[in-house]
Structure 1
Amino acid sequence: MNNLLKPHNTLPQICSYCRAHGSAGERRFINEFLVPTLNSLNVDYDFDAYGNLTVVVSDAPVLFVAHIDTVHDINSNQEKQQLLLGDGILSLNTEKEPFRTCLGADDGAGISVLLYLISKGIGGTYLFTRCEERGGLGADYVLRHNKAFLERFKMAIEIDRKGYNEIITSQGVGDCASNAFAQDIADALGMMHAPSPNGTFTDVATFAEVIPECVNISAGYFNAHTCNEYVDLNYLDTLADALANVDFNALRIERIAGDFGDFGYFNIAQGSGWHQTPFSRMDDELTYEEVVALVQDEPAVAAEILFKLGVTHGDIDDVLGDLYDDYAEAVYASDSRH
């Protein structure tokens, strides 16, 4: 069974589903693949009210994280997409799928690794979140409604980073893990990984508020959020086996939960505003004027937010259409008064 659940076997199945948040494809993936796979492993699992799925293998203070959703267009054809596999590289068949948004290895790769670790009985808790690509709302739900659950863990490990060799310690919120912890994981994996502060945002950034050490490990995918996305299955198999052999009790825990250091520019998941800017009200939505100021003053931050929220060309067209309709109505009303 373990070999059947190696990433090279499961990831092509996972990526055949278009898993946009709230889509028919996401529901099909959960009902047709994820739940039956867990049932085949005879493990208990629970869904929370947001749809996040949790598997508890043991009470070890380790939380493994991957997100279910992708940036597929929710309005696109939800039939399974066709893929290409050659020399261990999985990609979209763009000749037969010219209009697909992405492959979905972000974060199907992480899902495949977590399933393998579960099949091996690796101790810890496994969390499959929803709505990461729309701002980490699933992770935010866990933090807001089940903080005590998160406080049980000393470390959170997500497999949701591009490339081969990064162990992300810092994300948009700031420092999420110590270099010592990340270096210990890198040494234990023995795969040329190294600590990196160059993260943007993924679910464990939200959990770093209450979990001391939160890292994001390279998942072997490239060109995420595009139709040219591809993933290295051989790398994932090696990573999965290496993680299964890590002694997590031996890793140094040096960061204090909630201490993000001096670095950090935003927290998408918690809506916490922007460090060292006027937009620092916890949990309040920005006003229209504040959004305009953000775009003008910090365009890179605004672009990163839109990117992580999975904004599509269709979304832009819809907004432009609404703006045009509002403008046309205003012009008509003005003409009618004259």
Structure 2
Amino acid sequence: MRHDVQGRAGLLEILSWARPHDSDIERAFCREFLDKVPGMTKDGYGNRMLSIGVRPRIIWSCHIDTVAARGGRQNVDVDAKGIARLQNGKAGMCLGADDGAGIWIMLNMIAARRPGLYIFHRGEERGCLGSRWIMRNTPHLLEGVDAAIAFDRAGYGDVITHQSHGRTCSDAFAASMATALNALGPDLQYAPDNTGVFTDTNEYAGAIPECSNLSVGYHGQHGPRETLDIAHCERLLAAMVKLDSDQLVIERDPLDPAHDRWGWGYPSERDDLADAVAEYPMTAARILEECGVTLEDFQIALWADEEAGYRPLMAS
């Protein structure tokens, strides 16, 4: 069976699959939605990719996995305002618009034959495992690429300039992307934003000049109350299939050590939160569990902290 991903029905079908990393349901999802797309390939880690055009200079990025504690099918409702959410969401569940929305947008861009290198990453929610694998094992894939743009940001209007602990995208690039999208969609209101966390494009910031992340309309990600504004997804897709990427300004030098680096948050706020967690550990554990965070997730975050400085847990 090949699933039709066009239209709202296609998006809702994608959201109906809860697909934890390296689960049987994730593998089945890849077979049904990705592997049947003509020209789709996979690398040694299982990242799926497809190239359109001669030597494309832009990577379009999303990730396959969700933070759901268990894989399987789930029921999704859409209200009168076009907001999708889970039916009877419980702890350990999530809608999976992070990043089902990105998958849907990219599959429809492929169907429209928009130029670019499309990468459907595995293991983003486990610490950007798929993109890290590419950086370590097939970095030649990134040669000649000017920009890597993820469809994996909450909200409605962010073009991310900073991720993890530094700048990954120039203000000029972000402004040019925002201007182009807003011109193509009268109801779109994108603008540069420097409050990004991390997603797969962050891993490419040392090799690719412009690495960003676009808001796709979800909110409350990683938990049972996650929602997705379907109309926003549709407006963004309509703009993306018309986007002239030659308008985008490429300015950042990924090899320049002078680009700014920063730590996360204000120390006083983080200290206050740490004090609250220390005083009420069971409440903190319950909140993490309700957001779908497992002990393994926490251990991976500790590993990432030691490897590369502080990286916010399980965020996009």
TM-score bin, normalised by smaller chain: 0.7 to 0.9
What is the match of residue 295 of structure 2?
A: 315
What is the match of residue 84 of structure 2?
A: 90
Quick check: 1:8 aligned with 2:1?
no
- SS of the aligned residue for 2:134 comes to helix
Quick check: 1:69 aligned with 2:65?
yes
What's the C-alpha RMSD, in Å, of the aligned pairs?
A: 2.8
Q: How does 1:12-161 map to 2 (within 5 A)?
A: 12-36=12-36, 38=37, 43-58=38-53, 59-73=55-69, 76=70, 78-87=71-80, 88-94=82-88, 97-161=89-153
8 A contact 2:5–2:11 mirrored in 1? no
What is the match of residue 219 of structure 1?
A: 216
Quick check: 1:183 aligned with 2:181?
no
CA distance in 1 between counterparts of 2:72 and 2:208 reads: 38
Shift of 1:311: 8.4
Higher RCO (Cα < 8 Å, 6 or more apart): 2
8 A contact 2:67–2:293 mirrored in 1? no
In structure 1, give the amino acid aligned to 2:32.
Answer: E
CA distance in 2 between counterparts of 1:148 and 1:54 reads: 14
What is the match of residue 328 of structure 1?
A: none
- SS of the aligned residue for 2:72 comes to coil
In structure 2, give the amino acid aligned to 1:249.
Answer: D
8 A contact 2:58–2:117 mirrored in 1? yes
8 A contact 1:156–1:215 mirrored in 2? yes
CA distance in 1 between counterparts of 2:46 and 2:224 reads: 27
Cα deviation per residue 1:289-308 (whole Å; 9 max; x = unaligned)?
xxxxxx999959x9xxx999
Kindly tell me the number of residue pairs found equivalent between the two proteins: 272
CA distance in 2 between counterparts of 1:298 and 1:141 reads: 33
CA distance in 1 between counterparts of 2:41 and 2:154 reads: 29
8 A contact 1:7–1:233 mirrored in 2? no
Shift of 1:14: 1.0
Cα distance change of structure 1 residues 197 and 296 upon mapping to structure 2, 3 Å threshold: closer
CA distance in 2 between counterparts of 1:210 and 1:7 reads: 35
8 A contact 1:7–1:116 mirrored in 2? no
What is the match of residue 307 of structure 2?
A: none
Shift of 1:265: 3.5
CA distance in 1 between counterparts of 2:140 and 2:23 reads: 30
Cα distance change of structure 1 residues 138 and 108 upon mapping to structure 2, 3 Å threshold: same
Cα distance change of structure 1 residues 298 and 208 upon mapping to structure 2, 3 Å threshold: farther
What is the match of residue 240 of structure 1?
A: 237
Q: Which stretches in structure 1 are left out of the alignment for 5+ residues?
A: 267-294, 320-338
What is the match of residue 165 of structure 1?
A: 157
Bigger Cα Rg: 1
In structure 1, give the amino acid aligned to 2:47.
Answer: N
Cα deviation per residue 1:172-195 (whole Å; 9 max; x = unaligned)?
131010011111111111121000
Cα distance change of structure 1 residues 244 and 114 upon mapping to structure 2, 3 Å threshold: same
8 A contact 1:69–1:133 mirrored in 2? yes
Cα deviation per residue 1:2-42 (whole Å; 9 max; x = unaligned)?
xx644523221111111100111211211122323x1xxxx
